[in-house]
Structure 1
Amino acid sequence: MKPIAVFRHSLTEGPGYIATYMKGIGRDIKVVAIDRGDVVPHDPTAFAGLCFMGGPMSVNDPLPWIPEVLALIRRAMDADIPVIGHCLGGQLMSKALGGAVDANPVKEIGWRHVTLNGAAAREWFGEREGFLSFHWHGETFSLPDGATHLLASDACPNQAWAIGKHLAMQCHIEMTEAMIREWCVGGQKEIRAASAQPTVQSAEGMQQDIEARVAALHAVAETAYAKWSEGLKD
């Protein structure tokens, strides 16, 4: 079977739980480490699917790899290769399809509840009204033409959308305990700078009940990744 290409844009924002899930169902992943200068592949049909992770940059930054990634996303979707995006990855998907990525009114950093929007959302995230997700972003995407809105939070209404077998998320369902602890260390300056906003948690708050919160998030992620995996190519 072809591997799943996982695009890493920052050293600390790797595949996380999606790697664990794919290993469990016998699918291989190939990390394309943009952060260390890996070349953006041209042909999406070399992969079973494309997965885009988060990163501290903006999709509007003048980085040479961003136009290449946007073009790759469009080619993949045209070729019926499933695409999934987490945070920056979801923003890349939106921009690739003509959506806008702009500043959110507030930063969302830490744990925050998201709600499901209708039957389509339950297909991706299970028979629940909502769930506690992890967030770390200051920008937000608009929904591209043809997208179905799936998730919202009170601080950011566009948390996820889908088009067919493709899923874009603003929130982070891929988190592991180790990733959260690492981000809390590396993101101390950003947390302090935004601490006056009620949508920004302290590092201590993010790590409270972390084992139970991450386990519950993994249950949600498994539902979404299972749905997405149905479209993977052999």
Structure 2
Amino acid sequence: MTQRTLLAIRHVGFEDLGSFAQPLRDAGYRIDYIEAAEHDISQLDPLGPDLLVVLGGPIGVYDHEAYPVVSAETALLRERLAANRPTLGICLGAQLMAAALDARVYPGPAKEIGWSVLDLASNVEHQPLAALRNVPVLHWHGDTFDLPEGCARLASTSICRNQAFSRGPNVLGLQFHPEALGARFEHWLLGHASELATSGIDPITLRYDAKRYAQGLEQASATLITEWLARLEH
């Protein structure tokens, strides 16, 4: 199997590729992380890696003045998406992709933190996201975005209309967190303890739900990423 290169931009240590990592390796990808807090993102080659993944993080796309890395990542994504190179965004990553495609990103009507099923669009029946039908996924965001022009909406929830979008086989943005691992969920609770406290969200409930749902999500997510990778046009 020819090894392909995968570059994952990581904003906080515990929001990594999670359950996606092993299926990616099984598909022949060598995974390299770039820590957004330590590297000059503007120096990266937008077209270099076979697959670019932009992971989640606790900042907003509109925080570009406070966090200049936002502008650097948006510019990187704009060039990569213009070339239609394989790109996956998760949570903040999906928001940055939407911004790079000239869609508006803004605070949602409420924070969406917890486990619940997605309302999948009818057009996903024979697409990778079909693996998540009736599977509770992890939501952890306050912002949302408009559907970028030329993209297809794949999933929604009552709080967030645009939970997933695609543009052909090579571009996939996921607002939710399919990659969350049950064995590492305590990192999420500790890492976002301040946000949970200020939002009045009970970590005990989140921990209980993770024990109920994480294993099923891990299995479904492995199918999702494996099927998506098989359809990429390199």
Report the TM-score, using the length of structure 1 for normalisation.
0.89
The 5-angstrom pairing of residues 1-234 of structure 1 reads 1-61=3-63, 62=65, 63-120=67-124, 122-126=126-130, 129-164=133-168, 165-195=170-200, 200=201, 202-208=202-208, 210-230=210-230, 231=232, 233=234
Distance 1:178 1:40, change over 3 A: farther
- Shift in Å, 1:189: 2.3
Contact preservation (8 Å) 1:115, 1:131: no
Contiguous gaps of at least 5 residues in structure 2: none
Letter of the 1:13 counterpart: E
CA distance, structure 2, for counterparts of residue 128 and residue 11 of structure 1: 26
Pairs aligned (count): 228
CA distance, structure 1, for counterparts of residue 92 and residue 26 of structure 2: 25
Q: Deviations over 1:73-104 (max 9, x none)?
A: 12222323111111000000000001111111
- Shift in Å, 1:109: 1.0
Letter of the 2:89 counterpart: G
CA distance, structure 2, for counterparts of residue 122 and residue 207 of structure 1: 32
- Shift in Å, 1:37: 3.1
Contact preservation (8 Å) 2:154, 2:163: yes
- Shift in Å, 1:14: 1.7
Letter of the 1:143 counterpart: L
CA distance, structure 2, for counterparts of residue 158 and residue 130 of structure 1: 18
Contiguous gaps of at least 5 residues in structure 1: none
- Shift in Å, 1:211: 4.2
Letter of the 1:36 counterpart: E
Aligned-residue sequence identity (percent) comes to 29
Report the TM-score, using the length of structure 2 for normalisation.
0.89
Superposed CA RMSD in Å reads: 1.9
